[in-house]
Amino acid sequence: MITGAGNGPLFFMKVICTKAVMASGQALEAGQSYELSDADGDLLIRMGKAVEGEAPAKPKAKRKPKANAAS
């Protein structure tokens, strides 16, 4: 079993970074979803640099109707 810092099992949470930040030795980009340890995720959320959850799916691009050039 993997443990974290001697204080019990290590769990992971999904967060979305709201600002570019470093966590666990990695550069995290704003707007991207990451899976971090509970400790790192909680810290970033309390600092206001991340929110809990997954990145929302991007909406599909709508097609523009072709303009008929018939005159």
The residue range of the domain holding 35 is 12-48
Q: Does a structural domain hold residue 5?
A: no
Amino acid at 30: A
Q: Does a structural domain hold residue 60?
A: no
Q: Does a structural domain hold residue 36?
A: yes
Q: Does a structural domain hold residue 31?
A: yes
DSSP character at residue 47: H
3-state secondary structure of 6: coil
| Number of neighbours of residue 43 by Cβ within 10 angstroms | 15
Q: Does a structural domain hold residue 29?
A: yes
Q: Does a structural domain hold residue 56?
A: no
| Tens of pLDDT, residues 5-59 | 555 567 889 999 999 999 888 899 999 999 999 999 999 999 999 999 876 666 7
Q: Where is pLDDT greater, at 69 or 22? A: 22
- Taking the C-alpha atoms of residue 15 and residue 35, their distance in angstroms, rounded to an integer, is 6
On whether the pTM is more than 0.85, the answer is no
Sign of CA dihedral 30, 35, 40, 44: positive
* Number of domain units in the chain: 1
Q: Does a structural domain hold residue 67?
A: no
